[in-house]
Amino acid sequence: MSGTLDVQEAVAGLCCPPVTGAPLSGEAAAELARVLAALADPVRLRLLSLVASRAEICSCNLEGPLGKSQPTISHHTKVLADAGLIIGERRGRWTWWRVDAGRLAAVREALGG
Amino acid sequence: MSGTLDVQEAVAGLCCPPVTGAPLSGEAAAELARVLAALADPVRLRLLSLVASRAEICSCNLEGPLGKSQPTISHHTKVLADAGLIIGERRGRWTWWRVDAGRLAAVREALGG
DNA sequence: TACTGATATCGACGGCCGTCAATCTACCAG
DNA sequence: CTGGTAGATTGACGGCCGTCGATATCAGTA
């Protein structure tokens, strides 16, 4: 809206200027690295794509396709949620997950988008 | 050029459909995870931004700003180069590094760009 | 209140990663 | 050839991460 806002405005919680711009500060690099570390796992990438493939998905629908134990799935959903990439909501006995598209876009922008 | 080419065409060596599309295969997830793991380190992110801040940069200009030992810098440049994110060229006694912008763009697209 | 089922947490094991000192290799100057 | 310098490689150490069995928590149901 305002003319004073730039690329970093769209960066949901991620305060990193693009890596392709000026040299990153230690703090900005650490914060971006934390989110990227959450993404840098095959199981979590597949989990993320499963969540993204629908508006919402229940934890119980993740164990089967991913072929991992229930504690492992719970661990990975927590890592992605802590990184802000997915959002969980408990309804009754089930936990429903959805992607935070803004956060994912923020990562792309931090990567020089 | 051809009309048959789509998003994946621009993905320099990265054959991953976007995570926001259909669920990722195990192989696609593993390959994307490998590149993201190379990015998921504060020192390497700062190194990458240093390389990106100029057309080229010499290894000897990295140790100072990053505050790491020479073997550590050499290790990190190798990790980034193996991931295809930077390209090194040896000229005389020095090694010059530059960013592979296409590869970085490929990562962004794999992340749903 | 008990009982069942869905998730979260804990504890432990094995393996991978970042770091650096020491060493090796390659290149240029003399 | 010899010396000096830039960079790569090796080996070792410490710590973090993915995984799962066991257990705890928490919501709905009878």
Report pLDDT digits (tens) over B38-77. Answer: 999 999 999 999 999 999 999 999 999 999 999 999 999 9
ipTM of model: 0.86
What is the gyration radius of the CA atoms in chain A, in angstroms?
16
Q: Is the Cβ pair A21, B53 closer than 8 Å?
A: yes
Is A39's Cβ below 8 Å from some Cβ in B? yes
Q: Is B7 on the interface with A (CB under 8 A)?
A: no
Q: Which residue is nearest to nucleotide D19 (CA to C1')?
A: A72
Is any atom of strand D within 7 angstroms of residue A103's beta carbon? Answer: no
B7-110: what fold? Arc Repressor Mutant, subunit A (1.10.10)
- The tens digit of pLDDT for each residue in B66-105 reads 999 999 999 999 999 999 999 999 999 999 999 999 999 9
Phi-psi region of A92 (alpha: psi -120 to 50; beta: other; left: phi over 0): left
Question: A77 with A58: CB under 8 angstroms?
Answer: no
The ranges assigned to domains in chain B are 7-110
